[in-house]
Amino acid sequence: MEALKPVFVYGTLKKGQPNNFLLSDKANGHAKFLGRAKLTSKYPLVVGSESNVPMLLPEKGIGKVVEGELYQVDGPMLKVLDKLECHPELYIRTDIDCLLITDESGCPSSDAVIMKTQVYFLPNFKPALLNLPYLDDYKDSKEKPYCPHDRRSFSLLDEVKVCQT
């Protein structure tokens, strides 16, 4: 059997959010919800761009301790997530430490174990993103709804990343 990889999701892939259907669709591969988790360090989580996309910026020690969900995924599911996150052109998937705070049924986790997981960071971002409000837990809202890839009339890459020369 193929080894499963742990992935920490903090935005539109969480339960009840616009892209969670990707994780629950068996045609995409295997994804097992392990529970709610939080990062072990502060990072800036912002909602930026006209699309109201949540973005985790790789600036350790700035921002808040971000809460999200932890999943174990197989290779095919990881490819689906990479496609959604435009990895490696827009976001990069990298290792990070997180702490499981509830189990899959929502009960508080009895083990305070720090786990190495993967997360999608937005590297080479425009510095103005650090001026946006920092979140500790993303939720889509009616006031600022998330706009999916297929409804965007512009490139998110151009809007939020600094050009690399």
Residue 104, exposed/middle/buried by CB under 10 A (0-12, 13-18, 19+)?
Answer: middle
Exposure b/e, 43-68, CB count within 10 A at least 16 = b: bbbbbbbebbbbbbbbeeeebeebbb
Amino acid at 86: C
Residues serving a catalytic function are: 85
> At residue 95, what is the residue type?
D
Measured CA to CA, the distance from residue 7 to residue 31 in angstroms comes to 10
Q: What are the angstrom distances between the C-alpha of 73 and each of 35, 111, 124, 165?
A: 13, 21, 27, 34
CB 120 within 8 A of CB 93: yes
